Structure 1
């Protein structure tokens, strides 16, 4: 362990990025569980990542708004397609989501096949580079997060099928570039799973607390032990969620879904 490596000035913007992700992903994750489409986040996140890869192939400035636009466009198109497939073949929607994830993932592999740095780029999109997030990178996602939170507060579970998919796509777009596909999935699903048997009044805030503690502990430990931040946050968040679930009430005691 290297205590000299613990630099809070590095951890703070990374933690803020994680908290921004959690603000939208915790309530969205609860809706994902309720709708029974658990792997939609992986599919939309992978499609958003494909948009980033396409922007790279087109040699767009990686720090410009055009990359965000490419990712958002890809995610929205994926959301529209998933809305159509759910309406036409609702009984196999989860399978269709899985197919879309595989197609987006393999399309990314094909696009970077001749790029000498393609493997590194793919790893960054999957595992993320949260520890190196800068304050200026949080401005646009922060504005988007406020808008999405306001919409979720006003509409919540009254969102239509298309509305839910579009909001979900926009939330995931910014998150993928901040924290990577793995943390997007973890932030959506793990806190919601941990608190599903708690009283409805506690679920949202407990889920936020689990997520924040997972990000904070993962960032600190990854800095101390020089380990990949994204992967360690996934493990810390999941372990904390398991503890919260084990300490909670028995299944069936409270059955109302988590609400924002």
Structure 2
């Protein structure tokens, strides 16, 4: 065992994870229903690109200007995807993939001459959740409240544009807290695990996410392992277990020949 439990580190990190889950779990179920699973990666990568652009401009990495740059990039990406879905709905998933790879490679080009560029990219992908401070949770908490209120007022019935805009805001608030990998995992894995449950889907998905974050943070602290990667694995293992013991879809009866 490499270290001990430090609640002063774990508690704010867990609070950050729970904030992310509050919006990502219900939005993740929407993503599955719409069949556009990789939108979260694309929007998260675009938000990360906004952060990189702000960094190139020597803005304070913890300042509101960086948050604004990430939000503007994510919203522009959301508007573009809204337009492409309207124009070419049959290839929307492919278009999302193209946008993701363009944003990812643009980030590589922008940091190519930065001696710390690789480290910065790694932080945006894997996140630095274990070092989150309470002061960093203020803006995400506000954004989470706004998105939660919108989802409540709309009863989860989101049109194309509202969905993409809310999604962009949610990802913007979370990508700098937990990184691209955890954004994707928080959105998709709990939703996958509970998709065949008839009751309490949302509550169960929240429980899976919270347990995954808690287990990953504790284990990463005890064994001095990368917290983001370990949370991804813990959350996924728990989700697989919940799915395995849950109800299975009915197999359609074969028609007689």
Whether the TM-score (by the shorter chain) exceeds 0.5 is yes
**What displacement does 1:118 show?**
0.1
Distance 1:149 1:135 in 2: 20
Alignment correspondent of 1:184: 183
Helix, strand or coil: the match of 2:200?
helix
1:67 aligns to what?
Answer: 66
Aligned twin of 1:173: 172
Deviation at 1:5, TM superposition (A): 2.5
> Aligned-pair RMSD on alpha carbons?
0.9
Q: Does 1:143 align with 2:147?
A: no
Aligned to 2:231: 233
- Note if contact 1:14-1:133 (Cα within 8 Å) is conserved in structure 2: yes
Give the match's secondary structure for 1:5.
Answer: coil
**Partner Cα distance (2:247, 2:215) in 1:** 25
Gaps of 5+ in 1: 254-260
Contact in 2 for aligned 1:197/1:252 (Cα 8 Å): no
Aligned to 1:220: 218
Match of 2:248 among 222, 227, 250: 250
Say whether the 8 Å CA contact 1:126–1:182 is kept in structure 2: yes
Aligned residues: 251
1:77-156 alignment runs, 5 A limit: 77-156=76-155
Task: Give the counterpart of 1:209 among 203, 207, 210.
Answer: 207
Pairwise CA distance, 1:9: 1.1
Aligned to 1:51, the other structure's residue is in SS state helix
Runs of 4 or more, structure 1, over 2 Å off, are none
Shift of 1:156: 3.6
Distance 2:4 2:58 in 1: 35
Q: Deviations over 1:68-87 (max 9, x none)?
A: 00000000000000000000
Instruction: Specify every segment of 5 or more residues in structure 2 that has no aligned partner in the other structure, as ranges.
Output: 252-257
Q: What displacement does 1:251 show?
A: 1.3
CA deviation after TM superposition for structure 1 residue 178, in Å? 0.2
Q: In the alignment, what sits opposite 2:27?
A: 28
Q: How far does residue 63 in structure 1 lie from its aligned partner after superposition?
A: 1.4
Cα distance in 2 between the residues matched to 1:194 and 1:250: 11
Deviates more, 1:146-155 or 1:36-45: 146-155
| Residues 26, 187 of structure 1: 8 Å contact kept | yes
Partner of 2:41: 42
Residue 157 of structure 1: how far off its partner (Å) = 3.5
